[in-house]
Amino acid sequence: MSETLNPTRDEFAEMFEASVVDRQTFEQTVVTGTITGIEKDMAIVDVGLKTEGRVPLREFTDPGAEFDLKVGDQVDVFIDRIENAQGEAVISRDRARREEAWERLEKSFEDEDRVDGIIFNRVKGGFTVDLGGAVAFLPGSQVDIRPVRDATPLMNISQPFKILKMDKRRGNIVVSRRSVLEEDRAEHRQEVVRDLSEGDQRDGVVKNITDYGAFVELAPGVDGLLHVTDMSWSRVNHPSEVLNVNDTVQVKIIKINPETSRISLGMKQLQPDPWEGVQAKYPIGGKFHGKITNITDYGAFVELEDGIEGLVHVSEMSWVKKNVPPSSIVNAGQEVDVMVLEVDESKRRISLGLKQTLSNPWESFAERHPIGSTIEGEIKNITEFGLFVGIDDDMDGMVHLSDLDWERSGDDAIQDYEKGQMVKAKVLDVDPDKERISLGIKQVANDPMDAVGELRKGDDVTCEVTAVENGGIEVRVGGDGGPKAFIRKSDLSRDRNEQRPERFAIGDKIDARIVALDAASRRLSLSIKAREMAEEKEAVEQFGSADAGASLGDILGAALKDTEDGKG
Average pLDDT of the segment spanning 149-164: 92
Residues in a beta bridge with 312: 300, 352
**15-45 residue pLDDT tens:** 444 444 455 566 667 778 887 888 777 877 7
- CA separation (Å) from 337 to 92, 359, 411? 90, 13, 46
Is 558 a member of any domain?
no
The contacts of residue 89 (CB under 8 Å, 6+ apart) are 47, 51, 52, 53, 79, 80, 81, 82, 83
Average pLDDT of the segment spanning 240-248: 92
Is 187 a member of any domain?
no
Is 74 a member of any domain?
yes
Is 205 a member of any domain?
yes
**Position 555 pLDDT exceeds 60:** no
Last residue of a domain, one of 444, 462, 484: 444
β-pair type (29-39, 90-92)? unpaired
CB 414 within 8 A of CB 429: no
pLDDT band at 67 (very low <50, low <70, confident <90, very high): low
**476-526 residue pLDDT tens:** 887 666 788 889 988 898 888 888 899 899 888 988 998 887 766 677 889
**Position 547 pLDDT exceeds 60:** no
Q: 298 and 243, same structural domain?
A: no
Q: 320 and 284, same structural domain?
A: yes
What's the longest Cα–Cα distance across the chain?
A: 202
pLDDT at 546: 46
Phi and psi for 449 in degrees, rounded to 5? Answer: -65, -20
Region of poorest pLDDT, from 281-290, 305-314, 326-335, 387-396: 387-396
Domain span at residue 52? 23-96
Q: Which helix (H) or strand (E) holds 361?
A: helix 361-368
Q: 519 and 484, same structural domain?
A: yes
Average pLDDT of the segment spanning 262-271: 92
Region of poorest pLDDT, from 26-30, 201-205, 240-244, 292-296: 26-30
**Position 47 pLDDT exceeds 70:** yes
**105-139 residue pLDDT tens:** 888 998 989 999 999 999 999 999 998 878 999 99
Q: 541 and 470, same structural domain?
A: yes
pLDDT at 117: 92
Residues 165 and 560: their CA atoms lie apart, in Å, by 132
Is 8 a member of any domain?
no
Last residue of a domain, one of 254, 270, 286: 270
- Structural domains in the chain (count): 6
Is 82 a member of any domain?
yes
**CATH code of 352's domain:** 2.40.50.140
Q: 378 and 469, same structural domain?
A: no
Region of poorest pLDDT, from 65-74, 272-281, 533-542: 65-74
Q: Which helix (H) or strand (E) holds 22?
A: helix 9-26
Q: 285 and 266, same structural domain?
A: no
**172-209 residue pLDDT tens:** 999 999 999 988 888 887 878 888 888 999 999 999 99
Is 305 a member of any domain?
yes
Last residue of a domain, one of 422, 444, 466: 444
Q: 266 and 327, same structural domain?
A: no
Look at 472 and 13; give whichever has higher pLDDT.
Answer: 472
Q: 540 and 455, same structural domain?
A: yes
**326-362 residue pLDDT tens:** 999 999 999 999 999 999 988 889 999 999 998 888 8
How many residues make up the chain in this entry?
568
